[in-house]
């Protein structure tokens, strides 16, 4: 059992098997079963039916709330609730805050047959039980969808349902959820999981979008199978979702022409202002989808399912969108925050080593500016370790936490707190634009930019001596290029001079004093070449294609 697993709360209609399957799940998880209806009856000395008759539904619900809160305050248990527990907003808030909430769901005909066999009086099903049950199912479906963390098919035998409950609870316990908190009570979750992306996206969509919303999946063709699974899960959850809309692979997606083509396809699909986009793929896909979502009908909802490590730790989080122009990367862009981000590290673990390493550069950046423990973790990682999903969950979660904190403090880069995330990017973007995507990945260029920024920091006495060597050693250990000198020439410096962070004759660099501690500093453009020049004169050689 995961050490992170606390209470497991079962919700669902009468007949879903919350008590029977719950007892088996509790035994398997090594904990007690707390049946809320039984707790209410024990405290009152009367049956649920008698309490309904004497106090009405309102009186029973007050007792039910007290019993549920008492169970949640006790030692971790499997808690079986009554079918209507989700009707109380206080109950839902308490369950979601203190437990993994699992919805046991089955067709109404299955539930009605079970209830007919057990013969237990159900006050809310008096009369035509099947018709009343169907009405309750329709009424409570959105309540269950918003309360649950996971759904389990309760059609099978109790032992099968219990096994599914245990699996869902463990998977949720292993997930990491980091909130991006924005002004006005807005914000969104970034959830990091190991597998099960499609089912979880459907659950998050039910909480984020109105039932029946038109939801379009936009995807890089490289993840076509994942995109099809997402679309099927969204359709199964009741959303109007057609076949995924493909985008070009990589940076070729980030053009105004492609943005226009995607917008036309979405309109032709029938998406309206109340619709939503779910983007699946790397950072180029999430950038393009976010950009289109921000301008289509003056803004529609978007959610991201980043499938590369680079997108999971950086591009999909924070609301920055953009397309490229000949002048440079992301010259045209907007801020448009997603409704949620779901990062499945099992997808990143399956990436080719070079693609995985490119994402690790952005994680290293987060460690360098704000999390010394993450930096140290990457320093001691062996390359073979980096395909381990458990390790990737930790790396991604720590990197996301750094970015979420910066975005929460400065969502539109107005106060400067978020600009610390630009460590390595001012020079890295220029190197990347000059080299082109065929020769250098984004993370590779950022790594080289970090090495140069560390060099500049040392020469300005703003960084500890030896920081450049330390950074370059980690880059090499992660399988990234670590020598920036062959990549930096006059054209790269020219690109820096038109960077959007330039002001007059100065450019802003993020400099790291030591891992976990960073600051912004403006430096004269005239001094930049000397700050990043090699320590000793040497003949420049053309960089090798990696």
Per DSSP, the residues of 69-104 read: HHHHHSSS-EEEPPTTGGG-HHHHHHHHHHEEEEEE
Residue 545: what pLDDT? Answer: 44
Please state the pTM of the whole predicted model: 0.76
Would you kindly state where each structural domain of the chain is located, as residue ranges?
7-174, 176-351, 417-532
The span from the CA of 306 to the CA of 403, in Å, is 15
- 533: helix, strand or coil: coil
- Tokens for 374? 């993450």
Hunting for tokens 């203190």 — which residue is that?
A: 98
The span from the CA of 146 to the CA of 133, in Å, is 20
Q: Is residue 336 within 8 Å of residue 319, measured between CB atoms?
A: yes
Torsion angles phi and psi, residue 466, rounded to 5: 90, 0
Residue ranges, the chain, pLDDT below 70: 1-4, 119-121, 123-124, 126-127, 500, 536-546
Q: Is residue 149 within 8 Å of residue 340, measured between CB atoms?
A: no
- 160: helix, strand or coil: helix
Distance of CA 484 to the CA centre of its chain: 32
Q: Is residue 157 within 8 Å of residue 174, measured between CB atoms?
A: no
Residue 537: what pLDDT? Answer: 52
- What architecture does CATH give domain 417-532? Up-down Bundle (1.20)
CA dihedral 135→235→175→99, nearest 10 degrees, is 0
The span from the CA of 227 to the CA of 30, in Å, is 37
- Within this chain, domains 7-174 and 176-351 share the same CATH topology: yes
Q: Is residue 408 within 8 Å of residue 182, measured between CB atoms?
A: yes
The span from the CA of 187 to the CA of 203, in Å, is 17
Hunting for tokens 């949620």 — which residue is that?
A: 340
Residue 194: what pLDDT? Answer: 87
The span from the CA of 256 to the CA of 244, in Å, is 20
Q: Is residue 302 within 8 Å of residue 289, measured between CB atoms?
A: yes
* Bridging pattern class, strands 323-325 and 150-153: unpaired
- 339: helix, strand or coil: coil
Q: Which CATH class is domain 176-351?
A: alpha beta
CATH topology of domain 7-174: Rossmann fold (3.40.50)
The span from the CA of 436 to the CA of 249, in Å, is 14
The span from the CA of 420 to the CA of 456, in Å, is 16
Residue 546: what pLDDT? Answer: 46
């Amino acid at each position: 059992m995961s050490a992170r697993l606390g209470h497991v709360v079962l919700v669902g209609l009468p007949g879903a098997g919350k008590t029977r399957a719950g007892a088996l799940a509790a035994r398997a998880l090594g904990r007690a079963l707390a049946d809320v209806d039984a707790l209410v009856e024990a405290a009152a000395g009367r049956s649920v039916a008698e309490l309904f008759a004497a106090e009405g539904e309102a009186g029973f619900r007050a007792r039910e709330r007290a019993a549920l809160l008492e169970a949640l305050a006790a030692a971790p248990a499997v808690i079986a609730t009554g079918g209507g527990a989700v009707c109380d907003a206080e109950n839902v808030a308490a369950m979601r805050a203190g437990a993994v909430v699992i919805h046991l769901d089955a067709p109404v005909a299955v539930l009605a047959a079970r209830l007919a066999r057990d013969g237990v009086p159900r006050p809310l099903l008096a009369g035509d039980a099947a018709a009343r049950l169907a009405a309750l199912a329709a009424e409570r479906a959105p309540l269950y969808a918003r309360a649950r963390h996971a759904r389990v098919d309760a059609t099978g035998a109790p032992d099968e349902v219990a096994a599914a409950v245990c699996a869902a609870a463990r998977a949720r316990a292993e997930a990491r959820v980091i909130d991006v908190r924005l002004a006005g009570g807005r914000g969104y979750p970034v959830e990091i999981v190991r597998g099960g992306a499609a089912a979880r996206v459907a659950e998050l969509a039910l909480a984020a979008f109105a039932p029946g919303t038109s939801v379009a999946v936009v995807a890089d063709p490289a993840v076509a199978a994942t995109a099809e699974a997402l679309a099927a899960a969204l359709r199964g959850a009741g959303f109007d979702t057609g076949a995924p809309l493909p985008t070009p692979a990589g940076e070729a997606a980030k053009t105004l022409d492609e943005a226009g083509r995607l917008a036309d396809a979405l309109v032709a699909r029938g998406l309206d202002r109340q619709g939503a986009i779910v983007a699946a793929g790397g950072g180029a896909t999430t950038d393009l989808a976010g950009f289109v979502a921000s301008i289509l009908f003056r803004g529609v909802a978007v959610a991201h399912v980043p499938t590369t490590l680079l997108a999971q730790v950086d591009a999909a989080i924070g609301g920055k969108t953009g397309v490229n122009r000949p002048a440079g990367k992301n010259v045209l862009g907007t801020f448009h925050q997603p409704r949620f981000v779901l990062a499945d590290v099992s997808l990143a673990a399956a990436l080719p080593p070079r693609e995985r390493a490119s994402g690790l550069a952005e994680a290293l950046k987060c460690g360098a500016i704000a999390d010394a423990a993450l930096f140290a973790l990457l320093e001691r990682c062996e390359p073979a370790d980096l395909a381990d999903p458990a390790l990737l969950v930790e790396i991604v979660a720590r990197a996301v936490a750094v970015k979420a904190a910066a975005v929460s403090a400065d969502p539109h880069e107005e106060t400067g707190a978020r600009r610390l995330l630009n460590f390595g990017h001012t020079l890295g973007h220029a190197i990347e634009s000059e080299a082109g995507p065929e020769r250098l990945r984004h993370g590779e260029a950022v790594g080289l930019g970090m090495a140069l920024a560390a060099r500049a920091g040392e020469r300005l006495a703003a960084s500890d001596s030896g920081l450049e060597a330390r950074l370059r050693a980690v880059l090499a250990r992660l399988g990234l290029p670590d020598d920036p000198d062959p990549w930096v020439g006059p054209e790269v410096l020219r690109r820096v001079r038109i960077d959007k962070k330039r002001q007059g004759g100065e450019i802003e660099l993020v400099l790291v004093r030591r891992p976990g501690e960073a600051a912004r500093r403006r430096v004269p453009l005239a001094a930049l070449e000397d700050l990043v020049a090699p320590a000793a004169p040497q003949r420049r050689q053309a960089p090798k294609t990696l």
